[in-house]
Amino acid sequence: MPKIRVLIVDDHPMIRAGMRGLLEAVADFEIVGEAGNGEEAVSLSTELKPDVIIMDIVMPRLNGIEATRKIKQVSPTTAILILTAYSDIYYILGLLEAGACGYLLKDTRGEELVEAIRSVRAGESVLDPAVTRKLLERVVQQPGNTTNAPLTAQLTRREIEVLHLASKGLSNKDIADQLFLSLRTVKAHLTNIFDKMGCGSRTDAIIKGLKLGYITLDEHP
């Protein structure tokens, strides 16, 4: 199985070194590079096309939100996981709206970071369902909440069902159990959804699905 290619982005060299040491010890990870600021992160992501980027928020030259937005424009299938000391909901929503697929605080244990990287690579979001709800509410409230971004093909009925359950915060396993599918089949459906929508994460797909009318805010508790 191919290794998960990871780019580490943080303006503190000691934090980057610590993360590299932790992640290089994981057999299915490959650290493809490090960046110390947002502009460098955008440049390296364009060059290296990593599977997952671990991104800080507060950085020189370009902050994590703007860097995330630019990276998702040039590499939409790259999953961006925010690792930050800031837990403010407005920071979090700004990052998710920019295209990040989850966030962790910097006091997170190493094993939680490892599992989060695997989760976002598998198409899952690392965030609380309540945060997803707030994100969708903000998308609905924004003027011009439709999108002109083209689909390569229309979603099938099953893919819409998977997207709907993903938007409610269900894990891949929970979706598989609810739809009586195998875990592999759910992952394949999510891959097809991402490819058709030009997305790199559940969060991207949920936002675009809402804008395109595949899912509605009324479906959420």
| CATH architecture group of domain 135-219 | Orthogonal Bundle (1.10)
Q: Are 26 and 44 in contact (CB under 8 A)?
A: no
Other CB atoms within a 10 A radius of the CB of residue 109 amount to 9
* 128 residue type, one letter: D
pLDDT lower than 70: segments of the chain: 128-133, 135, 139-152, 200, 217-221
What is the fold, at CATH topology level, of the domain defined by 4-121? Answer: Rossmann fold (3.40.50)
Q: Quick one: pLDDT at residue 177?
A: 94
What gap in Å lies between CA 66 and CA 100, rounded to an integer?
A: 11
Residue from 5, 187, 203, 172 nearest 101 by CA: 203
**Distance between first and last Cα of the chain:** 38
Residues 117-142 have pLDDT tens digits of: 998 888 777 876 666 667 677 766 66
Q: Quick one: pLDDT at residue 109?
A: 87
Q: Quick one: pLDDT at residue 157?
A: 93
Which residues have CB under 8 Å from 121's CB, separation 6+? Answer: 4, 51, 52, 79
Q: Quick one: pLDDT at residue 121?
A: 87
Per-domain residue ranges of the chain = 4-121, 135-219
Query: How distant, in Å, are the alpha carbons of 50, 56, 61, 86 from that of 37?
Result: 16, 9, 6, 17
Q: Quick one: pLDDT at residue 53?
A: 96
Q: Quick one: pLDDT at residue 74?
A: 87
Q: Are 41 and 80 in contact (CB under 8 A)?
A: no
